[in-house]
Amino acid sequence: MGSASTISRQPEVDNTMSDPTSRPPLVLGQHDFATVTETVARIPERPGTTLAWKLSFAVAASLATMFVVLTGYLFVTGIGIWGNNSPVFWGFPIVNFVFWVGIGHAGTLISAILFLFRQHWRTSINRFAEAMTVFAVVCAGIFPAIHVGRVWYVYWLLPYPNPMGMWPNFRSPLLWDVFAVGTYMTVSVLFWYLGMIPDLATLRDRATRPLPRLLYGLFSLGWSGSARHWHRFEKAYLFLAALATPLVLSVHSVVSFDFAVSLIPGWHTTIFPPYFVAGAIFSGFAMVVTLMVPAREFFGLKDLVTLRHLDNMNKFILATSFMVGYAYLIEVFMAWYSGNKYELFTFINRALGPYAWAYWTMVICNVAIPQLFWFKKCRTTPWIMWIIAIFVNIGMWFERFVIIVTSLSRDFLPGSWALYKPTLIDFLMLIGSFGIFFTLFLLFCRYLPMVAMAEVKTVLPQAQVHHRHAAEEHAPSELEYAR
Amino acid sequence: MSKNSDNSTEPNSLQPQYVGIVARFASPGDLLTAARQIAAAGYRYWDCHTPFPIHGLDRAMKIRPTILPWLVAGAGATGALGALVLQWWANGVAYPLIISGKPFFSLPANVPIIFELTVLFAALTAFLGAILLNGLPRLLYPASTAASFARVTTDAFLVSIEAKDPQFHPERTAEWLRNLGAESVELCPAPEGDDAIPAVIKRGLLVLAVLALLPPLFIALARQHTAETPQEKPRIHIIKDMDFQPKYQTQAVSSLFADRRAMRPRVPGTVPFDPHWQPPPDGFLTGKVGNEYLTEFPIPVNEDVMRRGRERYDIYCATCHGWTGEAGQYDGMTSRRARARGEATWVPPASLTGQAVREQPVGKIFETITQGVVREGLYSMPPYAVQIPPEDRWAIVLYVRALQRARAPYPEDFQDSAPSAGTATASAAPVNEGHIKGNLAGDMRH
């Protein structure tokens, strides 16, 4: 086994330059196959935990516990403990649902779409981003489920033959949501787990204590790196990527149908599906950056997750920020151009009405602040990008708040207008959902391979079959895989 | 696996001792070159083990393309078709819901779920297909006992040839592999024991399996019943929901009041709300005077009352007894659905036009509507006193009489006799001096 001392600590190489004459390395620091494994695998193998991890976990687990207790309170008492009331029946729970589901999208985009486009820089961050997807979708799935009121009947959403002879209404976007989010969750977990099997086998083979060996052994299913197995594995991985790609675009489209298919002013627009998808990828990348910047620092992954990776993700944030900003503009334009006075009123009310503070927070966080990413200094300085990403997270939460609350609180009938007042429980459950997310995330960082070792090895120079043999007998067509 | 191996180190029994040979190569390129030659040499039972997929290796090894793509395509098509059929069946046939006047089955609304189930089925098949076609989960490989096998998931590039291959020879194959450029070659002894699952885990799983049977067993014991001895305890309600509410029933005891009565008497000085209120005629509220059922209506009988009776009957009674009262032949919707579903506790409604009910005095019919029908301690028909005021109950009785007479007319109904409304008294006798004009009930719906 290589020890930590074999990992060379080279001076920082700047691989963020875009020099067309030479490809910048994706992995820094003279790594070979063994040291890649060593860098990643020593994190879950470390006996005992660091104080920083313990403290973070204590905070996150306490918040998660608070969420569970409040959920129990909710079940016993009813959804009157929330601020949801006529006419704003969709308050924080649905805001949080849309927020968390959106967060997940970056993970699938990195793992599926960038895989299909052969963007090899994804290999260092895809495991991490996929884990974030799974945990975000867990948080997202909780909110609509507990929002139904009598949660013990939530299984009535599923089409199954029952003694009541009832079936769900398949023409309702809310039921589409059940299928879309359920499929998304399933495919995300499958994709994440399938990609992790070879790495779990690595941890199994390196494990010295019996319990980790047993558990990693169980979940790695006896993976042996057989070429015949890799053959099918790669096919399956490709299929999952190809299936997840339209799924990324569809899930938030279906979520947007919850709004767009209704008639409420400010919701009933055809721009919603692309607007929601762009916003989802925007917020998802911001969350990846938020988590990645501290994680690569604490867990010593700077050679694998380089500044180039962060730079690329920040470029995604900048591009999707423009898409979101464009959607905001078009919404206002269409409200005026349509000549629909309810639509126009809604947007004037958003910008100047009682929720103007939320609207302008959204615009500043989502459109103005990400413009800093025009500067390379901001794209490649971890603490600056971290702060910008936090702003984007806040802005995207407010985007959903603005869409849901402003439209519902001012609908067609002025007689039913009322402002939405979230309760303390609403805020505690929002914070508690972050507790669940970070609890799962910290467990992932501690016990699972955070970087896809097998995939990173394929982008090392040594992995190319002509690396030593100078393509002596290989047809040129076989070389195309070499990055 | 060679089961008869006794792990001895006798030099002459080499063949059964080893299950295979493992050669380690320095780089992916070396492995690829060697794999090409091994395939060309005609080995059949062999494999390569690598820490990551090496492109071109499957072609070098002449691995046949997997059938996984066809399985995934089939599953995707199944998902799409299944989703379409499910939605057509659920909303178009089994449970048609009227939503904004839209058609029960319309393709555009079904597209999202068709898409989602296509992806779901295909993804599950891609995942399970890859796992199961690979023969995973699996405990042992022919190369498992080689020392270098532990590094295969880190940085080792291995070739393994099984002993059952016809060309396998411990020494010659090893020598040949060295010539192909292998860094090291080692023979793999048979693993000790065929069964690597520890006994502790097996016992643990057995205990868990037994424990998992307990909850359903307890439920089955608590709910056991036969046709002769029905279960008398109510169903197990995990969630009380709104079926069980903290409330006082009529005549219940309450510790809240000094007189311990939950029902409160009128506040002293309460006066009737209606200044024209008159005490009702005898038997108006019960259908009886003393112990005798009324044989005549205590209210005036006219066409307005008959129309009112038909309206109330259609609302409250027709859902079980049918539009014409001929339950058994023309049941109402509720009864038909209960019969169709084979509801075990359903008591079929009585025919109102049959002999038995025809011979009942009007007071008896009134009492049945008021109090319901109790059979074996359970309501087979619930009481309607709460829902229907007494005037309307009498109106319904009148309409029931009309239905009966339409089904079993009196002889004079066939004569062109002059109508004589007013005293539509109905009694047990089939021949009655009162007349209900036939055409009053004649436009009832069949």
Give per-residue pLDDT as tens, A384-398. Answer: 999 999 999 999 999
Q: Give percent of chain A with pLDDT exceeding 90.
A: 58
Stretch 84-113 of chain B: residues touching chain A, C-beta under 8 Å: 86-87, 90-91, 94-95, 97, 99, 102, 106, 109-110, 112-113
- The runs of H, that is alpha helices, within A299-354 are 307-337, 341-352
Neighbouring C-beta atoms of residue A66, cutoff 10 Å: 16
pLDDT in tens, A309-322: 899 899 999 999 99
Most confident of the ranges A9-18, A201-210, A364-373, B144-153: A364-373
Q: Which residues of B touch A37 (CB under 8 A)?
A: 51, 153-155
Chain A: closest CA distance from residue B159 (Å) = 9
Q: For residues A347 and A328, is the Cβ–Cβ distance under 8 A?
A: no
Confidence of residue A372 (pLDDT cuts 50, 70, 90): very high
Q: Which residues of B touch A190 (CB under 8 A)?
A: 123-124, 126-127
Question: What is the per-residue pLDDT for A483?
Answer: 38
C-alpha atoms less than 13 angstroms from C-alpha of A92 in its C-beta half-sphere: 19
Do the Cβ atoms of A469 and B33 come within 8 Å? yes
Question: What's the average model confidence in pLDDT over A294-315?
Answer: 87
3-state secondary structure B136-193: CCCCCCCCCCCHHHHHCCCCCEEEEEECCCCCCCHHHHHHHHHHCCCCEEEEEECCCC
Stretch 336-375 of chain B: residues touching chain A, C-beta under 8 Å: 337, 341
Do the Cβ atoms of A481 and B56 come within 8 Å? yes
B241 near A CB under 8 A: yes
A168 near B CB under 8 A: yes
Q: Which residue has the tokens 């609302």?
A: B315
Q: Which residues of A touch B27 (CB under 8 A)?
A: 462, 467-468
Rg of chain A over CA atoms, in angstroms?
Answer: 24
**Residue B29, class by beta-carbon neighbours within 10 Å (0-12 exposed, 13-18 middle, 19+ buried)?**
buried
Question: What's the average model confidence in pLDDT over A177-198?
Answer: 94
The residue of A35, A75, A167 whose CB has the most chain B CBs within 10 angstroms, and thus the best one to mutate to test that interface, is A167
Amino acid at B41: A
Amino acid at B371: Q
Question: What is the per-residue pLDDT for A141?
Answer: 92
pLDDT in tens, A186-196: 999 999 999 99
Question: Higher-confidence residue: B354 or A165?
Answer: B354
Lowest mean pLDDT among A29-33, A261-265, B165-169: A29-33
B29 near A CB under 8 A: yes
- Please measure the distance between the N-terminal and C-terminal CA atoms of chain B and give it in whole angstroms: 79
Closest of B45, B195, B129 to residue A226, by C-alpha: B45
pLDDT in tens, A74-111: 998 888 899 999 899 998 999 999 999 999 888 888 88
Chain B: closest CA distance from residue A359 (Å) = 31
A313 near B CB under 8 A: no
**Residue B346, class by beta-carbon neighbours within 10 Å (0-12 exposed, 13-18 middle, 19+ buried)?**
middle
Question: What is the per-residue pLDDT for B337?
Answer: 86
Nearest CA in chain A to B201: A214
Q: Is the pLDDT of residue A35 over 50?
A: yes
Chain A: closest CA distance from residue B256 (Å) = 25
Q: Residue B279, SS3?
A: coil
The CA–CA distances, whole Å, from B223 to A5, A7, B216, B217, B238 equal 67, 66, 10, 10, 14
Largest interatomic CA distance in chain A: 82
Question: What is the per-residue pLDDT for A12?
Answer: 53
Amino acid at B19: V
Neighbouring C-beta atoms of residue B430, cutoff 10 Å: 13
Do the Cβ atoms of A457 and B51 come within 8 Å? yes
State how far the Cα of A280 lies from the Cα of A389, in Å rounded to an integer: 14
Do the Cβ atoms of B154 and A194 come within 8 Å? no
CA A241 to chain centre: 16
Each of the 446 residues of chain B gets a pLDDT tens digit; together they read: 444 444 444 444 444 578 888 999 988 888 998 999 888 888 888 899 999 999 888 888 888 889 999 999 999 999 999 999 999 999 888 888 888 888 888 898 999 999 999 999 999 999 999 999 998 888 878 778 888 888 888 888 999 988 888 888 888 888 888 888 888 888 888 776 655 667 788 899 999 999 999 988 988 888 777 777 777 777 777 777 777 778 888 888 988 889 999 998 888 888 878 878 888 888 899 999 988 999 999 999 999 999 999 999 999 999 999 999 988 888 888 888 888 888 778 888 999 999 899 999 999 999 999 999 988 888 889 999 999 999 999 999 999 999 999 988 888 777 665 555 444 444 444 444 344 433 344 444 33
Q: Which residues contact A395 (CB under 8 A, 6 or more apart)?
A: A361, A362, A364, A365, A366, A369
pTM flag (> 0.90): no
C-alpha atoms less than 13 angstroms from C-alpha of A175 in its C-beta half-sphere: 20
Complex ipTM, two decimals?
0.89
Do the Cβ atoms of B29 and A467 come within 8 Å? yes
Question: What's the average model confidence in pLDDT over A240-263?
Answer: 92
A232 near B CB under 8 A: yes
Confidence of residue A219 (pLDDT cuts 50, 70, 90): very high
